[in-house]
Structure 1
Amino acid sequence: MTGRPGPAVLPPSLRPWLGLITALAALVVVALGVLYAGHSEPGVVDRWIIQPTADSLRPPWRYVALAMDFLGEPVGAATLVVAAVTGCLLLRRPRAAVLVVAGAGMTVGTATLLKHLAGRTIHGDGNLSYPSGHTAFLTALALMVALLATGRFGLGRTAGTLLVLAAALVGGAAMGWAQVGLGAHYPTDVLGGWCTALAVIPATAWLVDRMADWLVDRTADAGQRQRR
C-alpha cells in the first residue's frame, strides 16, 4: 500500500469496544421490534415517561422541540448532511465525507425497513412508529462527528469511546425528548432508533475503510504494472 485517501473513519483503537456495542445494540433493536410488533398502544414503560415528557414542553421548550423535529425532516436532515460533508472536505477527510453520506443513508434506510417489519403504529392512524427514524438519524450524525473528532485529535481507546458514546447519548436524548414530547413516538421507539444508529454506524464506518483500502491497493497494483 502506498498511501490512504485520508485517515480511517473507524479508529483501530475503538474497533473492539464499538464492535461489542454494535452487537448489543442490534440485539436490543431486534428484541424491542419483536416485543412491540403489530402493537398500537404504549407499553408500561412508555406510559411512565410520556406524560412527564409532554409536560416539559411548555413554551419556550416546545419551540426547541419543534426545531429539533425539523432537523429530522427531509429538508433539515439534508441541510445537516450537506454541512457535515462540507466540513469533512474542508478538513481534508474524504473518508469521513463518504461515511456521512453512506451512514445517514444506511441508518434511515434501516429504520424505514424496520418500521415495516415491526408494524408498530401510533395514534391509531396507521403511522409506523418503531423505530424512531428522527432519533436514529440525529444519533447517527452525532456518532459520525464524534468518530471524526476522535481520529483528528488522536484520542485513545478510553477517551475516544467515551466521546463517541457521549455524543450518541446527547444526540439521541435531545431528539428523543422532542419526539416523545410532541407525541410523534413512544419512548421505546426512541430507544430502538438510538440503538439502530449504534448498530449501523460502526459497521458502515468499517465498510468504508475496507472499501477505501481496497481501492488504494488496486490503484497501487495498477501503477506497479504500468511501470513494468
Structure 2
Amino acid sequence: MTGRPGPAVLPPPLRAWLGLIAAPATLVVVVLGVLYAGHSEPGRVDRWIIQPTADSVRPPWRRVALATDFLGEPAGAAMLVVAAMAGCLLLRRPRAAVLVVAGVGMSVGTTKLLKPLVGRTIHGAGNLSYPSGHTAFLTALALVVALLATGRLGLGRTAGTSLVLAAALVAGGAMGWAQVALSAHYPTDVLGGWCTALAVIPATAWLIDRMADLLADRLVDRMADAGRRERR
C-alpha cells in the first residue's frame, strides 16, 4: 500500500524541466514589471509589435477576439473552470481538480497583486494593465489540462514537456492576441501574464502533490497503528 490517494498532478518526468522553465518565467515577470513600472504608454517593444492603443481588428476577426476575450471574463472563466473540474473528477483525478481551482486562482490572483505594485496603465489612470490576467487565466487552465493529459497518456519527459509548452503557447497566444487586438493590453502585458502562469502552475502542482502525499502517509500510519492496537 503506497498511501497515494491518486496519481500525481505533476508527472515526475516533467518536474525538473518545468521547474527550470518556471525560474526564467518568474525572472521575466519581475524584469518587465520593473522596466514598465508606472508607465502609461507602450514601450519600444510594444510599438515594434503593434500600436496597442489603436483598434487593430475589424469583423469578422473582431468577433473572434471578443469571443476569446469572453473566456477570460467572470462568466466565461467560471464555465471553463467548472467544465475542467467536472472532467477531472470524471477521470478520477482529484488532485487535478484541486489544481484547476488552486492553480488558476493563484495565477489570476498573482496578476491582481502585481498590477497595483507595478502601476502600469493603458487608456487612463484607472486601467492597470501589467500583467494580463486574462492571458494568465487561459494559459494556466491549458497547463492544467496538458498536465492531466500527460499523466493519463503516460508521456515521457520530452513528449510531455512538449505537450505542456504547446498547450501554454496556443492558449496564451490566442488570448494574448485578443487582448492586444482589442486594445486591452500591451504586448508586454501579455508576455507577463503568460510567464506568470508558467511560474505559478508548476509550483502549485508540486505543492498539491506534496501535501496530498503527506496527508496520505499520515492516514496510512494511523490505519497501521489502529491495526496494531486491534491485534493486541
Name the TM tier (shorter chain): over 0.9
Identical columns (%)? 83
Matched, 1:227 2:223: no
Give the Cα–Cα distance (whole angstroms) in 2 for the partners of residues 213 and 64 of structure 1: 43
Q: Give per-residue Cα distances to partners, 1:184-221, cap 9 Å, x unaligned.
A: 00000000000000000000000000011011001101
* Residue 113 (structure 1) aligns with: 113
Give the Cα–Cα distance (whole angstroms) in 1 for the partners of residues 95 and 66 of structure 2: 32
Question: After the TM superposition, which of the residue ranges 202-211 and 50-59 deviates more from structure 2?
Answer: 50-59
Matched, 1:96 2:96: yes
Give the Cα–Cα distance (whole angstroms) in 2 for the partners of residues 221 and 2 of structure 1: 11
For the aligned residues, what is the CA RMSD?
A: 1.4
* Residue 59 (structure 2) aligns with: 59
Give the Cα–Cα distance (whole angstroms) in 1 for the partners of residues 5 and 184 of structure 2: 41
Q: Which runs of 4+ in 1 moved over 6 A?
A: 52-55
Give the Cα–Cα distance (whole angstroms) in 2 for the partners of residues 6 and 41 of structure 1: 48
Q: How many residues align?
A: 228
1:177 to 1:185, Cα distance in 2 relative to 1, 3 A: same
Matched, 1:141 2:141: yes
State the Cα distance separating 1:56 from its structure 2 match.
Answer: 5.8
Where structure 1 has 5 or more consecutive residues not aligned to the other structure, the ranges are none
Give runs of aligned pairs for residues 46-195 of structure 1, distance below 5 A. 46-51=46-51, 57-195=57-195
State the Cα distance separating 1:119 from its structure 2 match.
Answer: 0.7
Question: After the TM superposition, which of the residue ranges 117-126 and 30-39 deviates more from structure 2?
Answer: 117-126
Matched, 1:22 2:22: yes
From the CA coordinates, give the structure whose radius of gyration is larger. Answer: 2
* Residue 212 (structure 2) aligns with: 212
Q: Give per-residue Cα distances to partners, 1:30-70, cap 9 Å, x unaligned.
A: 00000000100000111122249967622111111001111
Corresponding residue SS for 2:92: coil
Question: After the TM superposition, which of the residue ranges 42-51 and 85-94 deviates more from structure 2?
Answer: 42-51
Give the Cα–Cα distance (whole angstroms) in 1 for the partners of residues 18 and 54 of structure 2: 33
Give the Cα–Cα distance (whole angstroms) in 2 for the partners of residues 129 and 191 of structure 1: 12
